[in-house]
Amino acid sequence: MDGEGQRATVAWETGTLAPVDRLRTERADSPTPGLVEGTEPGAGGKSAMFVHAQSFEDLTAEAEEEALRGAELDKSEEDCTEELKALEEQHNNDFSSDGRAKEEDVSSEAWRSHRKHVFVLSEAGKPIYTRYGTEEALSSTMGVMMALVSFVEAEKNIIRSIHADGCKVVFLTKSPLVLVGVSRTCQSDRELLRELQYIYYQIVSLLTLTQLNHIFQHKQNYDLRRLLAGSEYLTDNLLRRLDRDPGLLLSAVTCLPLASSARDVVSSSLQAAKAKSLVFSILLAGDRLVTLVRKKDQVLHHMDLHLVFNLVGSSSSFREGEGWTPICLPKFNTAGFFHAHISYLEPASELCLILVSTDREDFFNMSDCKRRFLERLSKRSAYQTLKDALKCPSYSVAQVGIPELRHFLYKSKSSGLYTSPEFPVVYESDEEQERLMGLYQDLHSCLHHPTRPLRSFYRCSETENLLAWVTSGFELYLCFSPLATKALAVSAVNKLLKWIRKEEDRLFILSPLTY
C-alpha cells in the first residue's frame, strides 16, 4: 500500500484537477489512488454490499421523470402564484384548537419562519403528517395544497415547484400520497425532492405500498394517521437527519473505524450465525456500520439502510429485551414486510444487531442466531477491540496532517461507504455543524446539477474555503480555514487520498461477506 502511495505522488504532483478517465487501471497495480470506480480508496472487493451505482442521479431520476412528463411548468407556476398567496393567507387563518405535545400555533410567526416545512397528505387532501404544528390545525391548508396539485393535474401537467417570496414549495406526487416541502433554505428543488422521497419511503417502510394502495382504493377518504399513530417521531427524526447526516446527503453509509483484523472476526462470526430465512445481518454502533453480512445475490439499498438506522436510532424501545417487528425495505421491495430481530449486544452498549428475516414465525431462530453470534464473538479478543473502538472518538482531522484542513467528507462510490473526521472545535455547536452541512449541500448540488454538473468546485468565504471534487470513483468535499489558498487546497487532495488509502483497512469494509 505504501509503495502504491509513493508512486502516486509522481502522477499527482504534476496533475491538477484534470479529467481522470485516462487513468483507468486495475487496483492491484494502480499508480494513483484509484480514481476510477472500483479502485478508489475504500472500494470494496468484487461484491459490494449495496445496490450498485446508487448515485444521486439514480435516486432522483424517478421524481424527475415525473416532473418532465409535466412539461410546461413555467406556465403552471404563473397560474399558481395566486393560489400560493391564498395558501399563505390560509396559514394565517388556521387556528390550532387543542393542546397536544406538537402544539405550536400555526398562525404564529414562529411557525411560519421554520426553515423547512414538510407536509404529507392523501390525494383526497386529508392531512397525514406535518413537521410543525398539528395536522388538524392544518387541514384547510393541506386542502389548498391538494387543490393546487389537482388544478395543475387537470391540465395534464404536474406541479413541481413554486418559487415565491424567498420560499420554495416543492411537490412530490406519489400516489396515493402527496408530499409538499416548503423551504427557506437555498437547497435546489432536486435536493428537496429527494428529501421528500425519503419521507415517502419512511411511510412505505411502515405500511408497505401494497397496503397503502389497498387502503385508499377501498376508502379514498381514509385518515391514514390512524395507522401511523405513534410513528410521527420517526419522520421527525428522519427530517433532522436529512439536515445533519452526511450519509443521507452522499447516499452512503459510514463505518466505525476498526482494525480490519477485528472487523473480519466480527463479520465471520456473523456469517457463521446464519439461518435459512436470514437475509441481512447488520451490526451498528450508533449511526455507524460495524459490518453487514448478506445473503448471496441480495444487496441492500443504502436508503433502506438509512431507514433502518433511523428506526433503531429514534427509539429506545429496542433497549430492553429483543425487538421483533415487521419492516418493509421499500427500495428492496415495496410490496412486503421483512421481519427484523433488533437487540443490543449488551444493556448499555451502542452495539445493536439487526437480523432481517423473511419469515415472521422465525423469531426464536433469529434469537438463536444472535446467541450464537455473541457466544462466538465474546470468546475472541476482537470483541474487546470492538468495544475499545467505541470508546475513542473516531479520528481527528489533525491525524491527516494537512495544514488548514478542518473537515472533509470522502465517499467511495463503488462501496457506497464514506468517511469523515470528527468535527473540530470551530464546528462544535449544533448550529455550526448544520451550517457546515448546508455548505456541503450547496457543493453537492453544484456537482450534481442536472444539466451543468461540475467535476470540481472551489469556493472562498469569510468563514471557510471549500473544495469539492468528483470523479467516477469518489466524491470529496474539503473544508479549509479561510487562510488556505486554492493551491494548498488542490495539493491537499492528493495528500488526503494517500492518507485514506493508507487507512482504508480501518475506515472501510473492504471485504464484505455473504452467508
Comparing CB distances to another protein, the nearer of 199 and 468 is 199
Report angle CA 404, 409, 414 to the nearest 5 degrees.
140
Cβ at position 304, least distance to another protein in Å: 16
Comparing CB distances to another protein, the nearer of 124 and 374 is 374
Comparing CB distances to another protein, the nearer of 59 and 312 is 312
Cβ at position 480, least distance to another protein in Å: 40
Comparing CB distances to another protein, the nearer of 120 and 468 is 120
Comparing CB distances to another protein, the nearer of 136 and 232 is 232
Comparing CB distances to another protein, the nearer of 373 and 457 is 373
- Beta-bridge mates of residue 412: 417, 474
Cβ at position 22, least distance to another protein in Å: 51
Comparing CB distances to another protein, the nearer of 347 and 393 is 347
Cβ at position 458, least distance to another protein in Å: 45
C-alpha span between 492 and 437 (Å, rounded): 21
C-alpha span between 260 and 439 (Å, rounded): 33
Cβ at position 138, least distance to another protein in Å: 22
C-alpha distances out from residue 6 to 11, 217, 498, Å = 10, 63, 8
Cβ at position 322, least distance to another protein in Å: 5
Comparing CB distances to another protein, the nearer of 335 and 364 is 364
Question: What's at 164, amino acid-wise?
Answer: A
Cβ at position 320, least distance to another protein in Å: 6
Comparing CB distances to another protein, the nearer of 98 and 297 is 98
Cell triple for residue 66? 415525473
Q: Is 227 left (phi over 0), alpha (psi -120 to 50) or beta?
A: alpha
Report angle CA 391, 416, 30 to the nearest 5 degrees.
100
Handedness of CA 111, 113, 118, 123 (dihedral sign): positive
User: Under the rule (CB under 8 A), what is the footprint of another protein?
Assistant: 206-207, 226-231, 311, 315-318, 320-327, 340, 360-361, 363-364, 367-368, 371, 374-375
Cβ at position 261, least distance to another protein in Å: 24
C-alpha span between 87 and 140 (Å, rounded): 9
C-alpha span between 151 and 157 (Å, rounded): 9
Cell triple for residue 509? 469494509
Comparing CB distances to another protein, the nearer of 209 and 436 is 209
Give me the residue label for grid cell 462544535: 428
Count CB atoms within 10 A of the CB of residue 107. Answer: 16
Cβ at position 53, least distance to another protein in Å: 32
Cβ at position 58, least distance to another protein in Å: 29
**Contact between residue 418 and residue 513 where contact means Cβ atoms under 8 Å apart:** no
Contacts for 418 with CB less than 8 Å, ≥ 6 apart: 246, 247, 250, 252, 253, 254, 409, 410, 411, 412
Question: What's at 129, amino acid-wise?
Answer: Y
C-alpha distances out from residue 73 to 70, 78, 159, 358, Å = 7, 9, 7, 43
Quick one: DSSP state of residue 300?
B
